[in-house]
């Protein structure tokens, strides 16, 4: 195998590893909030801003930052983002200023959509069109692994060693990917660049806004409910803390399976997969509500829930990628922004229901979001089908 072929084969796994490091840095602090509060001498709600500020900045930066850096050599952009993440984590590890730590989180979040969006784009471009869903599924494995493994790993390091050690762990993971990217990834100059105006024109399409709506409500339905999942299991199912942790590990492992499954299904039966997934989400949430008191049965349902939830990110990225296929950098940025926005809206809606009627009402909030997501998915598929028909009709007429 030639050096070029060897590098090409390693590109997608390396990008998935890079996405793991990036997501790990974003989500790893979730389990460290009490330690951050203690280390910096701030309240728990204030420490929670270490999580919130990241999500807010990603939501705003997603459509903008990938476009601004789309003209530059892809390898150099990857190296720039990873180097910034390493620097931000090192500063956060040694500073005693809470404001400076939040500043490093905001700066890293600003460039988060650049790396993750570029990973989706490069993975799709590295294979034949029919294999793109499978390549993108590998990137989603990095996303899931960052959330599933990053939170418990960082929490363990922080509690067993220190807050500083956890931040150095984030710096190390990004540093390893930085070194591997420097060694393995070839120079990738951008030969054809769409103007900002040309890319932004895709926002004039109805199908793009439908795909954005599908992404917002799909993520809101699942992650809004999942935000209160631990309390749901403890209050309604009587799960102990150890059992909740075990259930979340099962859920996380199942998420990875869902990523792989979605890649295969979207490559072979995309319309059926996108249409059926919200129905499965609703079915699983209702089933979980009915079985949560039967812990062994509930564990099995949680595994299925993890598989289905592992598929939804692939589905949403697929829809936006198809709706704005001629502006992939913008499409991936929009995907990241709308996914984060959906998570925030879903969490807020389920929180309102819980505040009014208790933890069980989270199911109602999630089902409302699921119903809207199903409608948006179907409308998006219909609009995509109509757009494809219009694109091929002139050819059909000449034949």
Higher pLDDT, 205 or 55: 205
Q: Which top CATH class is 199-388?
A: mainly alpha
Average pLDDT, the chain: 88
Confidence category of residue 1, pLDDT binned at 50, 70, 90: low
Q: Which two tokens mark 68?
A: 């601004």
**Confidence at residue 108, expressed as pLDDT on a 0 to 100 scale:** 94
Max avg pLDDT among 140-149, 229-238, 259-268, 269-278? 269-278
Architecture of domain 3-189: Up-down Bundle (1.20)
Torsion over CA of 168, 82, 318 and 139, rounded to 10 degrees? -60
- The SS3 of residue 326 is coil
Higher pLDDT, 399 or 324: 324
Higher pLDDT, 28 or 77: 77
- Other CB atoms within a 10 A radius of the CB of residue 241 amount to 9
What residues does each domain of the chain span?
3-189, 199-388
Whether the Cβ atoms of residue 261 and residue 311 lie closer than 8 Å to each other: yes
Q: Is the pLDDT of residue 381 over 90?
A: yes
Query: What distances in angstroms separate CA 88 from CA 59, 95, 112, 251, one per listed residue?
Result: 19, 10, 12, 31
The mean-pLDDT minimum among 20-29, 35-44, 190-199 falls in 190-199
Higher pLDDT, 384 or 2: 384
Q: Is the pLDDT of residue 194 over 70?
A: no
Contacts of 285 (CB under 8 A, 6+ apart): 225, 305, 363, 366, 367, 370
Report d(CA 89, CA 372) in Å as an integer: 39
Task: List, for residues 87-140, the tens digit of each pLDDT value.
Answer: 999 999 999 999 999 999 999 999 999 999 899 889 888 888 888 888 888 898
The fraction of the chain above a pLDDT of 90, given in percent, is 45
Give the H/E segment covering residue 182: helix 163-184
Q: Which residue has the tokens 């890079």?
A: 18
Q: Would you give the DSSP letter of residue 199?
A: H
| 3-189 and 199-388 share one fold | yes
Q: Which two tokens mark 221?
A: 């339905």
Q: Is the pLDDT of residue 214 over 60?
A: yes
Task: List, for residues 351-369, the tens digit of each pLDDT value.
Answer: 889 889 998 999 999 999 9
**Confidence at residue 293, expressed as pLDDT on a 0 to 100 scale:** 93
Query: What distances in angstroms separate CA 233 from CA 222, 229, 246, 248, 295, one per listed residue?
Result: 15, 6, 12, 10, 9
As a whole number, mean pLDDT of residues 178-184 equals: 93
Confidence category of residue 392, pLDDT binned at 50, 70, 90: low
Q: Would you give the DSSP letter of residue 227?
A: T
The mean-pLDDT minimum among 3-7, 111-115, 174-178, 252-256 falls in 3-7
**Confidence at residue 195, expressed as pLDDT on a 0 to 100 scale:** 67
Burial tier of 397 (Cβ tally within 10 Å: 0-12, 13-18, 19+): exposed
As a whole number, mean pLDDT of residues 195-220 equals: 89
**Confidence at residue 397, expressed as pLDDT on a 0 to 100 scale:** 45
Distance of CA 213 to the CA centre of its chain: 16
As a whole number, mean pLDDT of residues 234-263 equals: 87
């Amino acid at each position: 195998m030639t050096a070029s072929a060897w590098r090409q084969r390693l590109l997608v796994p390396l990008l998935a590893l890079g996405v793991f490091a990036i997501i790990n840095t974003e989500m790893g602090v979730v389990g460290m909030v009490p330690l951050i509060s203690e280390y910096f001498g701030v309240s728990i709600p204030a420490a929670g801003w270490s999580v919130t500020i990241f999500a807010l900045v990603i939501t705003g930066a997603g459509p903008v930052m990938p476009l601004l850096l789309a003209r530059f050599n892809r390898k150099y952009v990857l190296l720039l983002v990873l180097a910034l993440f390493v620097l931000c984590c090192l500063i956060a590890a040694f500073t005693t200023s809470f404001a400076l730590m939040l500043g490093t989180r905001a700066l890293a979040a600003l460039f988060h959509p650049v790396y993750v969006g570029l990973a989706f784009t490069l993975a799709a471009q590295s294979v034949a069109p029919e294999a793109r869903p499978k390549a993108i599924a590998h990137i989603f494995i990095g996303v899931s692994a960052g959330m599933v493994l990053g939170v418990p790993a960082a929490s363990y390091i922080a509690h067993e060693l220190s807050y500083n050690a956890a931040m150095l762990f984030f710096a190390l993971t990004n540093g390893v990917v930085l070194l591997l990217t420097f060694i393995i990834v070839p120079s990738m100059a951008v030969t054809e660049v769409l103007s900002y105006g040309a890319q932004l024109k895709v926002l004039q399409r109805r199908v793009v806004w439908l795909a954005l709506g599908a992404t917002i409500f799909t993520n809101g339905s699942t992650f809004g409910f999942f935000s209160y999942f631990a309390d749901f299991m403890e209050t309604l199912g009587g799960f102990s803390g150890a059992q909740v942790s075990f259930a979340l590990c099962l859920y996380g492992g199942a998420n990875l399976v869902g990523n792989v499954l979605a890649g295969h299904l979207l490559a072979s039966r995309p319309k059926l997969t996108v249409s059926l997934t919200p129905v499965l989400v609703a079915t699983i949430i209702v089933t979980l509500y009915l079985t949560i008191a039967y812990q062994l049965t509930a564990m099995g349902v949680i595994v299925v829930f993890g598989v289905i939830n592992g598929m939804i990110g692939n589905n949403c990225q697929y829809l936006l990628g198809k709706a704005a296929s001629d502006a992939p950098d913008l499409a991936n940025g929009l995907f990241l922004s709308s996914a984060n926005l959906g998570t925030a809206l879903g969490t807020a809606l389920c929180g309102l229901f819980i505040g009014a009627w208790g933890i069980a009402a989270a199911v109602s909030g999630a089902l409302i979001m699921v119903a809207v997501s199903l409608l948006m998915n179907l409308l998006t598929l219909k609009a995509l089908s109509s757009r494809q028909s219009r694109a091929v009709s002139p050819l059909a007429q000449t034949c």
